[in-house]
Amino acid sequence: MSEAGVVYADVKFKDKRRAQQHNNAFSEDETTYSEVKINKTPQNDPPEGSCGTGSAGGSKVSSGGCNRERAALVVLSVILAAALAALGFLYNDNMQTKQHLQIMTAKHDAVKKNLTDTLSQPKKCDVVQPSCRPPTEGGTCFKCDPDWERHGNKCYRFLTEKLTWDQSRSRCEELGGHLVKIDSKDEQCFLDWTLIDKMDEAEDKFWIGLTDQVTEDEWLWVDGSKLDESLAFWNYGEPDNWREKNPDGEDCARMGEKGGAPDLKCWRDQDCNKPQKGVCEKTPSMGRVKFNCE
């Protein structure tokens, strides 16, 4: 609160008694000055930056600070409203995108499952032949007898009985085929990976139709054809014709790696009299296509 103001005033006092004593000789008034303090009640001014109205004097003009605060509040309110609207729009757009993605993913999974189911359905020729998928009805397709597995244009049978090389060769002939002759890298790859699931241990290998019994180091297939060295898949250091257990050495070929051979080199020579499992092969028969598929 501001300090009370001081007002000075002239106060005249007339001394009648003194005038009478001088018989009215002169009538000069004596003036006495006195300091009189009058407390002035200060007006309560509004705080700086606030808004208010006067009393009797009428409306008081709003201060500049008040106007700035109001303007700032209005701007902040507008910005906040715009931000909330933008967030709402982005949230809604994100939800729609997420829902659309979920729908597309579900459709993709359904189409993929339908395609997988369609491709896995076996076709029929004259007998049920899962691997027979001919292009048109009335055409021909390869088919293998029961217990034989088709790959490419050959049928394979994996003998689980352990026999000597000669016995395995005879057994394959009884079944209408012969010990396998490997003609390509694709065929070697197929056999290598198929035998992984058919081997019980590392030494549980399979005879193939390759031998050098007639002439040492001249490896021939069972059909009498000579081994193509570009399609030889000997393991490293093989054939070694080891003679420790048999003076005649090792004259028959076997194959198989329990964990699979990444480089496909899994042939080894072995004593022909040691019992092993074997792989037979034969040419598939032809069947007529019938679209009574299951």
Residue-wise burial string across 77-97, b where 16 or more C-beta atoms lie within 10 A, e elsewhere: eeeeeeeeeeeeeeeeeeeee
Question: Among 48-52, 95-99, 120-124, 256-260, which range has the highest average pLDDT?
Answer: 256-260
Q: Mean pLDDT of all residues in the chain?
A: 79
Rounded average pLDDT over 141-168: 94
Task: Enumerate residues 6+ apart whose C-beta is below 8 A from 214.
Answer: 220
pLDDT score of 102: 86
CA distance 268 to 227: 14
CA 13 centroid distance within chain:
110
Cβ contact 179:172 at 8 Å: yes
User: Among 143, 139, 149, which Cα is nearest to 127's?
Assistant: 143
pTM, 2 dp: 0.53
Which residue intervals of the chain are DSSP H helices? 16-21, 64-120, 165-174, 185-196
Domains and CATH numbers, the chain: 7-36 (no CATH), 128-286 (3.10.100.10)
> In the structure, what pLDDT confidence band is assigned to residue 55 with cuts at 50, 70 and 90?
very low
Phi, psi of 114, deg, nearest 5: -65, -40
> In the structure, what pLDDT confidence band is assigned to residue 115 with cuts at 50, 70 and 90?
confident
Task: Enumerate residues 6+ apart whose C-beta is below 8 A from 101.
Answer: none
> In the structure, what pLDDT confidence band is assigned to residue 289 with cuts at 50, 70 and 90?
low
CA distance 62 to 50: 8
The DSSP letter of residue 230 is G
Question: Among 53-62, 73-82, 107-116, 131-140, which range has the highest average pLDDT?
Answer: 73-82
Rounded average pLDDT over 141-161: 93
Rounded average pLDDT over 273-293: 81
Stronger pLDDT, 251 or 11, i.e. the higher one: 251
CA distance 261 to 240: 19
- Residue 54 predicted with pLDDT over 50: no
pLDDT score of 70: 87
CA distance 93 to 109: 24
Task: Please give the single-letter amino acid code of residue 223.
Answer: D
Stronger pLDDT, 28 or 146, i.e. the higher one: 146
pLDDT score of 128: 42
CA distance 158 to 168: 11
Q: Which tokens belong to 6?
A: 């001081």
Work out whether strand 178-179 and strand 276-282 pair parallel, antiparallel, or are unpaired: antiparallel
pLDDT score of 61: 47
Rounded average pLDDT over 210-228: 96
User: Among 148, 262, 263, 254, which Cα is nearest to 204's?
Assistant: 254
β strands within the chain, DSSP E = 7-12, 31-36, 123-124, 128-129, 140-143, 149-151, 154-163, 178-179, 206-211, 220-221, 252-255, 267-270, 276-282, 285-288
